[in-house]
Amino acid sequence: MLFYADNKIQMHHKDQNIKARFVNFLIQSAYFLQSWLPYRRTKQFVYNLLENDNYRYKKYFDYFMIAIILSSVTILVTDVTQKLPRWLIGYDRYIVTTIFICEYLMRMWVYSDIHKRVIEAYEEHLLFDSPLSPRALACRILRDKWRYITTPSAIIDLIALLPSYREIRILRVFILFRVFKMLRYTRSLSSFLLILKYKKTELFTLLSLTTFFVFISGIMLYVFEGHNNPNIHSIFDAFYWSLVTISTVGYGDIAPVTSEGRAISMMIIVTGVGLISFITSVIVSAFGEQLTALKEENLVHDMGKKDQIIILCGFGTMGKLVAEGLRRQQITFVVIDKSQKAVEQAQALGYHALCSDATQSDIFHKLHIEHRISHLLALSSDDTQNALIAINVKSLNPNVSVTARCKDNLIAEKMRFANIDDIITPEEIGGKIGAAFATNPIASEIACSMIDQQQTRTGIEDLVIREESRFANKTIREIDFDTYKLTLLGVLRLRNRDEEQFIFNPHEDFLVRPDDHLVCIGYDFALAKLRKESEKVAA
């Protein structure tokens, strides 16, 4: 007995050691994956490809999956009546199924992080001295994965695999779910379902009412017509007639022959017309309520794919002039205004416009201010609002170049203290232009005509030299502005954050450094050519 007890204790200790080693292995593996950069990059890439609509390559993956789905559905439908070549059957059975399985597993993989669950459990164990068992870890992990498996989209993905087993012909009915998979990859269909979701209560009520009328009218018809109508053989035939009649389709294959049945038909037809009218009005109202929000969502989604955009806040007189100038230069910009009327005017002119409060941070986060927005122009007629917009943007991303309109000198001084890049004072600019016209009207007229590129094809370009540009660390002679038919007025050099130096008509041996601003004058097509050449990377 003692030997048996000792042996049992030794086995228990051995099991405990195995469990402890297994848990230690899981913890070490979790921390390794947490710090292993290739693993994190790979998982982020897969996530972007599957879920991130702002990822530039996701649309190509969506097109690929749509093509795979359409080809599979075409093969399965054609196989119903025709004998297909063996290679087509092999393509659908092995290649398409393998792609669907890999996609399903990748979506399950990126849905949650197993290593993070292990680390959380281990840190809880250290903090609260709670027991850490493999079973508890497994339950946590499986709970996360099960949460994904039971989502409607994951169920559709799983069922879409069943038509691949051609030997079981009844499973081919699930071909419909392969079509449903396209909901993942088509934004228009997803948006339609999202709009209907907002009216789910009304639609569910109408569906329940329709089901009630179909049920009652079907039973009544079966009672009155069951023994008199040769086309009604069962209660299912009566329900079929009721549904066809209430939907106002009326195939005519089943028609009542008794007076009572015809009376029921008249009532169900009137009811059907009313229900269809209600359903139509609910769907139309849902589209009317959500159409503006849907347009804004699509615009934000499209702008999220751009490399750099300019934000124009305020669509008044000055905002309209600036927008027109940006459009002539083919620069991507978005108008933001609190007034729905101003937004509608901007949209009528063909501009991208959003109705939102630019003093709040939400709209800028949606537009990816961290790396998408290069410049912001606060040009509303309210100085306080312009100051709030400028300070808000600078707090979100100090690297965004902000230009604000301001008439009040006190507010302008506060904006300078907040490191706002440029402040426009319309009255001051107008006064200087008026003085220039009074003393030198010809030169002023030429300068204004050059600024207004609509009247002349000449312009002034402020070209910023990036560090990777082919013009960086080159002399004026090496750049050779004569070949571009341009005149270099000067170079603006930033000595530090608060001090600038403008070198007028620099010597040919002057060295152009990164972040220098080249101010050139010439024809617009020549300026465009210079801009394109400067964007080329140095060899």
Q: What's the pLDDT tens digit per position in 370-426?
A: 777 888 888 888 888 888 888 888 888 888 888 888 888 888 888 888 788 888 776
- From the list 465, 474, 454, 467, the residue with the least C-alpha distance to 530 is 465
Each residue's pLDDT tens digit, 127-137: 777 777 777 77
Tokens of 26: 């899981």
3-state class (DSSP) for residue 231: coil
**What pLDDT does 4 receive?**
43
pLDDT at 9 over 80: no
Alpha carbons 413 and 401: distance in angstroms, whole number: 18
Name the residue with higher pLDDT: 2 or 439: 439
pTM of the model: 0.54
Taking the C-alpha atoms of residue 261 and residue 220, their distance in angstroms, rounded to an integer, is 8
d(CA 414, CA 454): 36
DSSP assignments along 325-351, one per residue: HHHHTT--EEEEES-HHHHHHHHHTT-
Predicted confidence (pLDDT) per residue in 328-379, tens digit: 777 888 888 888 888 888 888 888 888 888 888 888 877 777 777 888 888 8
User: 431 pLDDT exceeds 70?
Assistant: no
pLDDT the model gives residue 8: 47
Instruction: Please indicate whether residue 308 or residue 37 has the higher confidence score (pLDDT).
Output: 37
Residue 520: what are its φ and ψ, rounded to 5°? -120, 160
Q: What's the pLDDT tens digit per position in 66-109?
A: 888 888 888 877 876 778 788 888 888 888 888 888 988 998 89
Phi, psi of 305 (to 5 degrees): -90, -10
Rounded to whole angstroms, how far apart are CA atoms 251 and 254?
Answer: 8
Q: Where do the domains of the chain lie, and which CATH numbers do they carry?
A: 28-184 (no CATH), 200-292 (1.10.287.70), 307-424 (3.40.50.720), 457-534 (3.30.70.1450)
- Work out the burial of residue 8: count CB atoms within 10 Å of its CB; fewer than 13 is exposed, 13-18 middle, 19 or more buried: exposed
The model's pLDDT over 458-483, given as tens digits with 9 standing for 90+, comes to 677 778 888 888 888 888 888 888 88
Higher pLDDT, 1 or 197: 197
- Span 209-252, pLDDT tens digits: 888 888 888 888 888 887 788 888 888 888 888 888 888 777 77
